[in-house]
Structure 1
Amino acid sequence: MLEISNQTQDIFDGELFNQIAHHLSPKDIELVLAGDEEVLELNKTFRAKNKTTDVLSFPFSDMGIVGVDLPLGSVVINVDMAKRMAKKLGHCVEFEIALLLIHGILHLLGYDHENDTGEHRDKEEALIAYFGLPPSLIVRNQ
């Protein structure tokens, strides 16, 4: 189940987000929709990077709790950045958030495009095709 915490003034249907989460994992996932300032603070606190970013993933397995059926984790998406990118690329903000959600959930599942040999990109591209979405973060950055 996808638990959405929308900390913005924007309204989203969420059906596509739920489909993506359900397709990728049977575990509960938290999706936090936030703005530039909130994501900047999280990025500074947890990654020591003094800049905002588009998506952050926080796997609950990293918490060291054993014997408890934890949710998969949290994905925090910067809606302000998603809106800017969607406008720049000519698609809707929901599609941009969906792309970021796929990217973030794959991180929760252990994929890491910074250290793997293309597995994250391949999986992301397959999911994008499955859901009929525009090109992903990794593809755009190649």
Structure 2
Amino acid sequence: MIDFDNRTSLNLQTQTIELIASSFSDKEIELIITDEDEMREINKAHRNIDKATDVLSFPYEEMPMSPLGSIVICSLHIQEKSKELEHTEDDEFTLLFIHGLLHLLGYDHEVDNGEMREEEARIIKEFNLPQSLIIRTEG
């Protein structure tokens, strides 16, 4: 169950991300697509980094009936990376969603031993998607 708040003019499809999310959790996920300026503000407020980023995840405290968390994705990144890597905006959107979802589920590629990358690769193969965020940044 995704509460989708698209604050941009991008026309993004949510069927694939709904399938992916439901395979991991039945909890609600807040998903916000926003512009570069708002993403920069959110990143500065929550991570003290004064620049826009591609995706941010905010897990909620585990309680009965609580949502899994929030994912915020920058629309400019979707547009730029999809053109640069020659795949669709929906594919880039889905890759960023997967990355954010795995963070909500407790994965952390900055400190793990490759578990998050392996899980991303498994999901990407299952849904026939292009290379993931982690694979691109590792190369």
Fold shared by both chains (TM-score > 0.5): yes
Q: For 1:71-91, what per-residue CA distance to the aligned partner results, in whole angstroms no more than 9, with x for missing partners?
A: 000000111111100000000
Q: 1:46 to 1:133 in 2, by over 3 A?
A: same
Give the secondary-structure state (helix, strand or coil) at the position aligned to 1:114: coil
Give the whole-Å Cα distance in 1 for the aligned partners of 2:14 and 2:64.
Answer: 28
Return structure 1 stretches of 4+ with deviation > 2 angstroms.
none
Give the secondary-structure state (helix, strand or coil) at the position aligned to 1:24: coil
1:57–1:73 CA contact under 8 A, matched in 2: yes
Q: 1:67 to 1:20 in 2, by over 3 A?
A: closer
Give the secondary-structure state (helix, strand or coil) at the position aligned to 1:141: helix
2:56–2:100 CA contact under 8 A, matched in 1: yes
How many matched pairs?
138
1:56–1:77 CA contact under 8 A, matched in 2: yes
Give the secondary-structure state (helix, strand or coil) at the position aligned to 2:110: coil
1:2–1:22 CA contact under 8 A, matched in 2: no
Aligned to 2:60: 60
Aligned to 1:94: 90
Q: For 1:52-107, what per-residue CA distance to the aligned partner results, in whole angstroms no more than 9, with x for missing partners?
A: 1000000012xxxx754200000001111111000000000110010000000000
Give TM-score scaled by structure 1 length.
0.93
Q: Tell me, which stretches of 5 or more residues in structure 2 are unaligned?
A: none
1:41-120 pair list within 5 angstroms = 41-61=41-61, 67-120=63-116
Q: For 1:31-65, what per-residue CA distance to the aligned partner results, in whole angstroms no more than 9, with x for missing partners?
A: 1011111100000000000111000000012xxxx
Give the whole-Å Cα distance in 2 for the aligned partners of 1:94 and 1:133.
Answer: 10
Aligned to 1:35: 35
Q: How far has the Cα of 1:24 moved from its partner?
A: 2.3
Q: Note if 1:130 corresponds to 2:100.
A: no
Q: Which amino acid aligns with 1:85?
A: K
Percent identity of paired positions between Structure 1 and Structure 2: 43
